[in-house]
Structure formats: structure tokens, C-alpha cells
A and B are shown apart, each in its own frame.
Chain A
Amino acid sequence: MFTRKPDLDNIIVNRLKELFGDDFYSHEFQYDMLSLTVSKTLLMDIMGYLYEDSFFKYRFLTTLCGIHYPGTDKELGVVYHLHSFTHNHRIRIRAFTEIGDLHWPTATGLFPTANWMERETYDFFGIIFDGHPNLIRILNVDDMTDFPMRKNFPLEDQTREDKNDSMFGR
């Protein structure tokens, strides 16, 4: 378990409320981590603020990954885990977008390590990071047209019967 730091959590929540207003984000506590949901337009401002501020110093990007909630208003999301070595404290930031509007601000300006993480997210979810230096597929083949981690991309059906392979078939 990560050590919860309720004081620090409250400072972050209050400071962001002051700076960015109530409407742009919500927060919750998931297990041992503060989880912020922010709007896409403010995402980079908030991350930049947490990076630059001399008190917070959230300067280590632990992970960046996509997530897909089909059937909701804003289906696609990106989740960031930030780590402040000064406070030894982690936070999670999430933002969501509609399936029709895939453009997303890049984090490579703040964190060079976001380069491949964003390429991976583009590869699997089709989110287009504006301003990324080299946004091409990374793990899948270049001529693939689908985005396989979206929920509507099927895994092979476990009960299919059209395969006739006496040794390896099902």
C-alpha cells in the first residue's frame, strides 16, 4: 500500500479548485490514491502546474495509458499516474473525450518519456496526440487499420467451430 497523505491530497484539491474552478474536474479517493478527473482542455495546464510548482513537483510520469468505456457520452480516456519524489506521493489524473474527437494534447513537452507511451496509446486506442514528434504505431504492424484495445474490437471467439485443425484446433 502506498502511504496516504490526506493533508497533501486536500492541498492539491483546494489549490486546483482555486486555480481552475469547480466545474472542470472532480476528485475521488480510490484505495490509496487520489484520482482526479479533469477536462481535456485543462489537462495540460493542470499537469504543467503540478510539474512546475515549487511545492508539488510532480515530475515523474509513471504511466500513461488509454481506457475505453463504450456506450458512455465520452468514451475514450487517457489515464496518467504522476509521482512526486519530493513528497513520495502519487496521484492519478484522468480525462475523457468523445469518439468523434480524437485529438489530444501531448505530454511529451513535459515528460520525454511520454513519447513511446503516447505512441502505444495511439496504437491501441487511436487517440491522436497533437504535437507529438513521431506519432506512428509501435507494437502492432504498420498497415493495421483497427485500434485493438477498444472494446468493440473482438478477441477470437472461444467457441468458434469453423477451424478444423486436428492437432491444435478446438
Chain B
Amino acid sequence: MTEPLENIISANADLVSGDEHREYNTLNLGPTHPATHGVFQNVMHMDGELVVDTVQTIGYIHRAFEKLAERRPFYQITPLTDRMNYCSAPLNNLGWHMTVEKLLGINIPKRVDYLRVIIMELARIGDHNICNSVIGVDSGALTGFVYMFQQREKIYEIYEEICGSRLTTNLGRTGGLERNFSDKAWGKLRVFLKEYPKVLKEFEKLLVRNRIFMDRTIRVGPISAERALAYGFTGPNLRAAGVDYDVRVMNPYSSYEDFDFIIPLGTNGDTYDRFMVRQEEMWQSLSIIQQAINKLEKMDDKETYHADVPDFFLPPKEQVYNNMEALIYHFKVVMGETDVPVGEVYHCVEGANGELGFYLVSDGGRTPFRLHFRRPCFIYYQALPEMVRGSMLSDAVLTMSSMNVIAGELDA
């Protein structure tokens, strides 16, 4: 921000100004404040320890993804989606692939759907894992964070076996996954499923009924269901307020209708409820992964990892060198020689922090004509002033971290 602080405040007229008997302080939280967990700024108007009002300034890491996407073929947009919610990159990747598949009208085999469900639920666990342990850190309990971070490492090792990378995964391809799960990946997944519940239980023991933690989080940063809906909340934040909206159930994708799971709900929409909803969702995700593994074991087919769409799915490399058709398809896929339908699609997945939507307008060319990301963070972060008004500064910090605001997703 090039402007002095006074100008920012005067441009934001909704900040309350002090009268002659009262003096308000202005506190600048961010852009690089440890409590924001990302690059965004909060200009807070303080009456002593109390927050009178706050104005958010965002856009510090805006990277123009929507504009860049207009110059890139569909498969090159996947790495852009990685960098939105980088705590659960596979969810973004697969959401994007499903959008393209919807545009192209590709039917995905059941086995691929289940493999994708495993990956997506792992990503959800990874994201909630970080968010919840960071709530602990912000309320003063650093220990749990270290244990949970070790488990995130285990999840990243599974990603590594599946797609070769860890944080920004670029996972999956249009029409399926880039390769089948290796034996090593299955092994690591089994070990994770065995060990993670113990760690999660221990973590719950540390915080869930902890008097200090409960006092710090209950009735902190509450939002009613009505206001949450008006502000476009989705995901755990909306469910904490008591609205049972989950895209996985309302508009099932990737065969989620085959799974049996519960949508945890809160009642007060406060920080503790958000924490508990995420906590319960992790248990549900573990159960979904287990169900998916059981379903996959019952299948005779152990090889299918993509749909039969040679026009969009790259052939194996050894075939490209030895087989004429494969070489032609490889060339066509890379050069974008295949016709794409003209049309508009909107597809959404249940991201780790809400409904992650992709609005794709295709004019038949190799790149999107227009691509808009519905980024849940960007939409619900605007409710922060309403949630922290009148609370203590330390509670405002806790509210912010419990909303799970990821700077990459905020700024696109």
C-alpha cells in the first residue's frame, strides 16, 4: 500500500471516528503480522483493548489468475488452482478437472471417482488439521500444533507417492489421474489411517474440554445463521452457525452419493463451534476414506485410473515413442487441436473452507474465454468487522484464525 494510513481510514467512511471525550487508537494488524497467518492487513480502530471497527485491506499477493487463465490451455490452468488454497491444493486441482470434464461431457469411471474421493478427503484432513492446530496456537497452546504438523507431513508424503509433489500438487489430469496409486502409496495411506486417529484423539484431549481453551473460544466471534447466509458463508463456517449446507450432499460430485457420512453442525457459530465442526469433519473424512478403500477392494478392476478419452488424456510415454496413434494424440493434446464445446458451466466442490466454484465460459478455443473462481475465503472474510466489533483484540485474532482465511485464496 503506497498511501499513508490516514488516507485509508478516511476513504473507509464506515470507520467510527471519536468524539471530543473519547480517543480511539488505530492499530495496524498486518500485512506481515504473525497473527494474520498470511499477507493481508487489518486497520483496527481500538478503544483501549476493545475493537470498535476494522477495515480489511487485501490484494497483497494478487497474481491475476483469472487473466492468466485466459491465455492458457485447460491443462495449464491446474497449477494456478494449486496456488489458491495451498493448504488443500488437490481439492482445487480436482475441482478444476471436474469442471473441464463437465464442459467436455466426459464420464468418469467409478474407480477413478473413488480414488479422487480418497485424495480429496486427505486434503480436507490436511487443511482442517492446520486450521485447528493454529487455533490452538493463537489461544496459547503451541504443543498440539507441533504434533499435528507432523501428521500433515505424512499426508504430504502420500501426495508425493500419488503425484510426485507435496505442497502445490498439480494433481490429476482431465479425465482421471496421471497414474495409478502405487503399492507404496497404498501402504502409506494404510499407515496413516492407523496412526492418525490416535494423534487426533490426543489432540482433542488437549483442547476440546480444556477450560482455558473453552473460555477463550466459546462465544468469541459469533455469527448467526441468518447473517452467515447473507454474507455467503459456506463450508465449516456456515455449518458452525447451524446451516446444513454441504456441496457433497446437496449436489454430489465424484460419486459422493455412494458414501455414508454425517454433516456435523454447530449451534452458535462461534470460534469453538467452528473448531468442533472441523474436528468432527476430520473423523468423517477418515471414515469416508476407509469406505472408499473398502469399495475399491471389492472391485475386480485394479488398473483403471482414467476415462477413455484419448482426445484429452495424454497417452503413456512409451506408446508415444512407438505408436503412431499415440503420437498423434499426444501432439493434439499438447497443442490443443481438439475442438471444445461452446458453452458456460458452473461447477463447485466442497473445498476445505467452503464451496469452491469454477465458472467457465468457453468459446470453443483452446483457452477459456472467461474463468471466474468462486473463492470461499474472499466471500466470507468480508464479514470479519461484524464478527469482531466490540470484542477484545486477542479474541479478534482468534476469530480470524478460526475463519481459516488463506491469503492465496483471498487474492487469487
Contacts and interface: CB of A to CB of B under 8 A. Distances in A.
Contacts of A133: 14
Interface residues of A, number: 45
23 contacts: A1-B253, A2-B251, A31-B343, A31-B345, A33-B345, A59-B229, A62-B232, A63-B346, A63-B359, A63-B372, A65-B359, A68-B370, A79-B359, A79-B372, A111-B230, A115-B382, A116-B378, A116-B382, A117-B379, A120-B378, A133-B14, A134-B13, A138-B58
B382 A113 contact: yes
Contacts of A167: none
Interface of A: 1-3, 30-33, 35, 59-63, 65, 67-68, 79, 81, 85, 88, 90, 92, 111-113, 115-117, 120, 124, 133-134, 136-143, 148-149, 153, 155, 158
B346 A61 contact: no
A43 to B, nearest CB: 18
Contact of B2 (A67, A85, A143): A143
Contacts of B250: 88
A64 to B, nearest CB: 9
A112 B344 contact: no
Given A2-B251, A112-B230, A139 B62 contact: yes
- In the complex, which range does the number of interface residues on chain B fall in? 35 or more
A134 B53 CA distance: 15
Given A31-B345, A116-B382, A67 B229 contact: no
B346 A142 contact: no
Contacts of A140: 59, 62
A65 B344 CA distance: 13
B370 to A, nearest CB: 5
Contacts of A112: 227, 230-231
B253 A138 contact: no
B341 to A, nearest CB: 9
A61 B136 CA distance: 33
A141 B229 contact: no
B259 to A, nearest CB: 17
Contacts of B102: 1, 31-32
Which applies to chain B's interface (DSSP): helix, strand, loop or mixed? mixed
A113 B230 contact: yes
A60 B229 contact: yes
A13 to B, nearest CB: 18
Interface in B234-291: 245, 250-251, 253
A111 B359 contact: no
B412 interface: yes
Given A3-B251, A81-B357, 5 more contacts: A60-B232, A81-B346, A88-B250, A142-B1, A149-B66
B295 to A, nearest CB: 21
Interface string B187-230: 00000000000000000000000000000000000000001011
Nearest to A113: B232
B231 A113 contact: yes
A62 B411 CA distance: 18
Nearest to A121: B372
Interface in B322-347: 343-346
B379 to A, nearest CB: 6
Contacts of B12: 134
Contacts of A92: 344, 346
Contacts of B345: 30-33
Q: Which 10 A-B pairs rank lowest in CB-CB distance, beginning with the nearest?
A: A113-B232, A139-B59, A65-B372, A139-B62, A116-B382, A63-B374, A30-B344, A112-B230, A113-B231, A2-B251
Contacts of B372: 63, 65, 79
B185 interface: no
A1 B255 CA distance: 10
B358 to A, nearest CB: 10
A120 B412 CA distance: 11
B299 interface: no
Given A1-B102, A111-B232, A148-B67, A63 B357 contact: yes
B96 to A, nearest CB: 15
B100 to A, nearest CB: 12
Nearest to A142: B3
A33 B346 contact: yes
Given A30-B345, A113-B230, A155-B71, A62 B374 contact: yes
Contacts of B227: 112
A151 B38 CA distance: 31
B81 to A, nearest CB: 16
Interface in B346-386: 346, 348, 355, 357, 359, 361, 370, 372, 374, 378-379, 381-382
Contacts of B71: 155, 158
B40 to A, nearest CB: 11
B64 A138 contact: no
A89 B378 CA distance: 23
Contacts of B59: 137-141
B58 A85 contact: no
Given A92-B346, A113-B230, A155-B71, A134 B62 contact: no
B232 A139 contact: no
A81 B347 CA distance: 11
